[in-house]
Every structure is written in C-alpha cells, then in structure tokens.
Amino acid sequence: MRKFWDNSCGAGALARVPDGTIDAGSVEQRTSARRVFPSTLNIGGVAIRPATVLAPMAGVTDTVFRRFIKNLGGCGLIMTEFTSADGVLRNPKVRGRYLHFYEDEHPISAQLFGSDPRLLADAARVVENLGFDLVDLNLGCPAKKVVKCNGGSGLLRDLPLIRKIFESVRGAVKIPFTVKFRAGWSDDEIVCVDLARMAEDCGLCAVALHARTREQGYSGTARWEWIASVKQAIKIPVIGNGDIRTPEDACAMVAQTGCDAVMIGRMAPANPWIFRQIEQYVDSGSYVQPAEADRYQMIRTYFQMLLEEEMPGAEGKMKQFASWFTHGVAGGAALRKAIYEAKNGTEILENVERFFEAKLLVQSAQS
C-alpha cells in the first residue's frame, strides 16, 4: 500500500510523509494550497458556505453539538447522527431524538442508514417533510452491530442493492440526496469509483468519501488518492473525509485530490474551533490558537447548552466530552476527575467554573 504523497495530484500540493502527517512545505506551496480551497459548494441548489462539513457521528452530532459548532463559526453544513430508517418509521421517539433541529441549524442534512429500499425511501420522505435541506445515506459505518444488519459499510459488498436504494430514495424526495461511503470493504474489495459513478448515474447530488476501508475502521492512514480517483471519475461534487487534523491538512486534501469540500469528524469534538481556523487560514495564511480563557468559555458554553436543552443523559454527555475538551489543558486530569465524580450536571458545571477561574486568577496575578 502506498504510504506517501509525491505531489502528483497537483502542482504546489503539500506532501504527505510516511507517518501520515503533512509536510508544511515551502511558503509558495502553502499559499498555492490555500488558494485552491473552495469558498462555497452547491449541492442540488443548496449553498454550502464555507465548503466545510461536520461529519455525522453517533453519540456526538445531536442538536446541541451541531448548534455549538455552528455558533463557533466556519462550518458550512452540519449533519445529524446516523439514524435508522426503520426506527424513523416505527418509533416517534427516534424522530424526536435524532431528527429534531432548530431553524438556526440550516443548512442541515439528515443521515439515514438501512438496507431496505422501500423503508429508506419512506424515511427520506419523513426527513423532507420535517424540513431538512438534504438527506444522506450512510454506507460508511463500520460498527459490527450495524454491518451485521447489512447497514452502513456492510452494503459495500452489494452494489446491485445499493443501486436499488439510490433509485428508490431519489424517486421519493425532491431535496438533494447524497451518500457518504468508505472506499470498500477491504483493500481487496475497493469499490469507491464504481459506487460514485453509480450515485451520479442515479441522480444523487454529491458524494462524500471517507478514504478508509471498512476493515481499517479508524486505524491506519486515510488514502487520499482514492478521493482523487473518485473526483476524476464523476462530475457531481466530491467531499473528502479522513485525517484532517489541522487547517493545513484541509488545504492539502483539496490541493492533492481536487475535492470540492472537506468533511471533519473526530477532530471536531477534540478541537471545535477547527472550522473557524480553516476559514482564517484560507483567508490569511494563519489562524488563532485558543487560549485557556477560550477553552473555559467553550466548555462552559457547551455544558450550559446541554443543561438548557434538558437532553436525556446530559450528564453522561458532559463526562464523555470532558476527555476531548480538556485535552492539552494543564492540570486537565484533575478537572476530568472532578467531572467524572460529580453527581449531576449542575455540579459538573460548578467544577468546571471553579477549576478555570482558579487558573485564570493565577495567570492574572502572574501577569
């Protein structure tokens, strides 16, 4: 397997070195990569501006996190958690939990998973009637419980069934229909180009490729050359996903693959500012690194939003996100311990405020 980049996808592209990181390259290379980053993306008449997308993530991209990211700035399109088509149709609680959104979240896409063309079409109609701007099909989730039901990336071994799903959903709704998929089941079963061509042929409006196989899960290095191959094969927009950790990575992906937008998943909860930083970097060549006061405000804001939403399991979410949000904070282990041991959401918030206010007081005295 090829493990590096040689700039073959475009002059001035930044180089990807053997460990998967980005070689910053010369000033000219960085400037060239920034200049090719698209300012906007149109998916079936829906304008995505900036050309950045928050990936759908189970247990993460609920309405609170989506609005939280949107409010920080720089994200052009947000997506729901992936949602069972069967659940949408059978259980009103599923619709209430996974497909609830507010007006300030537009443009927003709802992502569905399943393997029955009729059920997916019916669920897509529900999505359209709820007012979503786009509907997306999940062909990427590698989780065993999803794959064993022939959902997510489990469908990648059955292209004829995927075609039936594409045709059924496309015929059911008028809003833009997109698909997010992996490159294939394994290195021996790469289907991304064939699948992308089929999506275009069936009238889908865009594709998003996570450049890993189902077998890889989230390990190893994303193979951006697969994104480039898909882009070269079709005319509808291609969104690239995989291993974008910094604004430089985002620009490098576009420069090396020609993709029309970038999608960011796991880095978003670890660095919620990344979308804004990409926008800053594209505009000026630099971006702001958050200070401790910024991180304090970020954690407090998200936790307050969770409590105000009165979302079931808010305390569990606060503890789940604590490890991401406190990454890189000096003394963060003590804060995480205080959060994990807290008995309710109010106590968690108080512990966060106590921790950061003490730190900021010391910093103020030292300055």
Instruction: Give the residue numbers marked as catalytic.
Output: 141
Q: State how far the alpha carbon of 275 is from the alpha carbons of 75, 143, 264, 270, 305, in Å.
A: 5, 27, 8, 12, 20
Q: Where are the beta strands (DSSP E) in 65-176?
A: 78-79, 83-84, 108-113, 134-139
Partner residues linked to 112 by β-bridges: 83, 137
How many angstroms separate the CA atoms of 159 and 335, rounded? 48
Nearest in space to 324 (alpha carbons), one of 144, 23, 65: 65
Q: Reduce the DSSP state of residue 107 to 3 states and report it.
A: coil
Fill in the amino acid letter for 6.
Answer: D
Q: Reduce the DSSP state of residue 261 to 3 states and report it.
A: strand
How many angstroms separate the CA atoms of 131 and 127, rounded? 7
Structure tokens at 226: 């697969």
Q: Whose structure tokens read 């997010």?
A: 180
Cα angle value 177/182/185 (rounded, 5°): 130
**Residue 206: enclosing H or E segment and its boundaries?**
strand 206-210
Q: Reduce the DSSP state of residue 196 to 3 states and report it.
A: helix
* Burial status of residue 164 (CB atoms within 10 A of its CB: 0-12, 13-18, 19 or more): middle
